[in-house]
Structure 1
């Protein structure tokens, strides 16, 4: 007999707005942290030992924050719908904007960042949708030197989501982008050219992620289907399994660091958990009263302390301990 799904370990309240995005930072000096970006333009920094917000970064003029990430232990990136990416310097309990990147994009495409130095100490690449919303620009940080402009030859509509990684081959970074027409394009970032494409959804690709260790990705849209796809030896995108959900609409997809678990954030207020290898449904997690907008796995070095967090339009963040024994 199947075990019932777990209850959340705990819930954080106090954001005061929809929780659009989440990012863990656990393997660092001091307490494990969670960064959350809200629809009111604030980035909350949560101390997971005390389960309280220890700082609030407010640099987007009240415009919704749609993406948060970290470059290193002291530098946080936040993307707002004010068409800016802010770089924050953290230290001694303070948070100051040290620099900004103007994207010009009024869309909802989240940026992505790729660290190119050990421990995040070297340069990084930032990819973002530009003012021409079908174009992806890539720049180096902190220098802000342009690296490439990725623009499809044919009309695919605006870019909706991005994922960038460094292949084991040592060649230039690769980036996969999901577009408004439901297609994916794989790009060589260094050469600025497309390598392959694939039509995966009849509607805009709302979210995607990619697991470089398996050369496999997954994407979702407004439909009730999660589709997986993979790269072959010639870097061609190929469709693989699909899984049908009871209700439509997926906000975000996230693969756990060990490559065993996939989680989806659903418009139906639920988080779904799957085995990543075969997309086998494992659990449906229910605790939110509105759309789940974001889901993230912690990067804690202690497996016993690794959690999954989900942020919702109901202004709450739920934390779950799931399948740590697998």
Structure 2
């Protein structure tokens, strides 16, 4: 079997690709680069519908939130934009004007440690609300700690998560925690089945020293300061180098971590487990920048500094293949959803229902990777239950 090739190459950027995401319905690709440019690409035509200078610095993250777009940059800003109206742009194939999103509001943030935001839909009082959300970020002053903000109120609900649990023995001679700064984080609520802890607010954080820690809010108030009310449920140290990225499975059962070393860490997130909480898979490929887990939780993709994206089973870590196109380091990777949200049909969709249904099914198998070479590769993956991509 010959090595796979990307089905499309996107060249909308002129700088290193640093962030990638799909829309919830798989119709759009969001991408950001190291010059602060953000692009929205319509998957059906693979043409941009919006391209704008969102930040004065590297884009750390970009994500869709209802009818809005959140971008996070190294300029110490988190922006919330109103998404452009894509119907007219899509239907007018002759238009050369790209609509820019409208900036709604911004947060001043701390981007010293390159750690991107983590978004959680819903507020403490209404977790099902689509109009409110929580976002976790590194603390404004101390990059070892985390803050939790509410949107759109821009109110800081929890400040300096991790501070109250710091004991004197965890400090080095300079007063800094031995874990170092937060490198990657994920904000979530404890899933059902944990009794009184169901719905508990939690932050999983990967640190500079290679450790991963789970913080949980045990307080009764809706806000906290200096980390009061937050406890550390457990700590795992897998990597010798800094945790470059972590990803949590859709069912919140486990997380995967990658680093500059050759290890892939898997950590079980359930509170009470009989087996070891963490396991390590040793690869032959050091230097990994990002990891993502497919929406069924069965497959992961890891973007490497060697320019390759490697696919693994999340259960056995059996190799499912290597996607090799980029000659420079890959820093971003994203899966399309296997079960995308339905979107409202436009006039274009109604004329092309049959073709669109076929294209939509193909897009559920898409994976995108972004590289230092400024390009985004689009791959159409096969059914891993039947076949396996031959590694290259």
TM-score, normalised via structure 2 length? 0.76
1:6 corresponds to: 4
**Partners of 2:71 and 2:274 in 1: how far apart?**
32
Matches within 5 A, 1:73-92: 74-92=67-85
| Alpha-carbon contact 2:309-2:324 (below 8 Å) kept | yes
> Does the 8 Å CA contact 1:205/1:219 hold for their aligned counterparts?
yes
Contact 2:191-2:252 at 8 Å conserved across structures: no
In the alignment, which residue of structure 2 is the partner of 1:69?
Answer: 63
Other-structure match for 1:228: 266
Larger deviation, residues 10-19 vs 171-180 = 171-180
Given candidates 107, 110, 117, the residue that maps to 1:104 is 110
Structure 1 residue 106 displacement after superposition: 1.7
* Residue in structure 2 matched with residue 157 of structure 1 by the alignment: 180
Rg comparison, structure with higher value? 2
Distance 1:58 1:237 in 2: 48
168, 172, 189: which one aligns with 2:191: 168
SS at the partner of 1:206? strand
**Alpha-carbon distance change, 97 to 181 in structure 1, aligned in 2, over 3 angstroms:** same
Q: Which residue number in structure 2 is paired with residue 186 of structure 1? A: 214
1:60 is aligned to 2:118 = no
Contact 2:309 2:323 in 1 (8 A): yes
Shift of 1:118: 8.2
Assess if the C-alpha contact under 8 Å between 1:225 and 1:245 holds in 2: yes
Q: CA contact under 8 A between 2:250 and 2:295: conserved in structure 1? A: no
User: Is 2:292 the counterpart of 1:264?
Assistant: no
**Partners in 2 of 1:235 and 1:147 — Cα distance?**
31
**Aligned match of 1:304 in 330, 346, 362?**
362
- Secondary structure of residue in 1 paired with 2:101: strand
Secondary structure of the 1:91 match is: coil
Instruction: Pick closer, same or farther for the CA change 1:199–1:325 going to 2, 3 Å.
Output: closer
**Greater strand proportion:** 1
Match in the other structure for 1:17: 15
TM-aligned CA distance change 1:208 to 1:305, over 3 Å: same
User: 1:235 deviation in Å?
Assistant: 7.8
Runs of 4+ in 1 over 6 A off after TM superposition: 117-120
Q: 1:45 aligns with which of 23, 27, 40?
A: 40
- Which one has the bigger helix percentage? 2
TM-score (norm 1): 0.91
Which of 215, 234, 238 is the matching residue for 1:196? 234
> Against the structure 1 CA distance between its residues 196 and 241, is the aligned structure 2 distance closer, same or farther, given a 3 Å change threshold?
closer
SS in 2 for 1:304: helix
- Does residue 135 (structure 1) correspond to residue 145 (structure 2)? The answer is yes
Distance in 2 (alpha carbons) for counterparts of 1:193 and 1:145? 22
Deviations 1:144-184 (A, max 9, x none): 22221312513111000001222222322222100111111
Please say if residues 268 and 277 of structure 2, whose CA atoms lie closer than 8 Å, have aligned partners that are also in contact. Answer: yes
CA distance in structure 2 between the aligned counterparts of 1:194 and 1:159, rounded to whole angstroms: 15
Give the Cα separation in 2 of the matches to 1:211 and 1:295: 15
Whether the 8 Å contact between 2:60 and 2:116 is mirrored in structure 1 is: yes
Q: CA RMSD in A?
A: 2.2
- Give 1:60 shift: 1.3
Gaps of 5+ in 2: 86-98, 171-176, 193-197, 220-229, 341-359, 386-392
Change (3 A) 1:227 1:49: same
Cα distance in 2 for residues equivalent to 1:4 and 1:227: 30
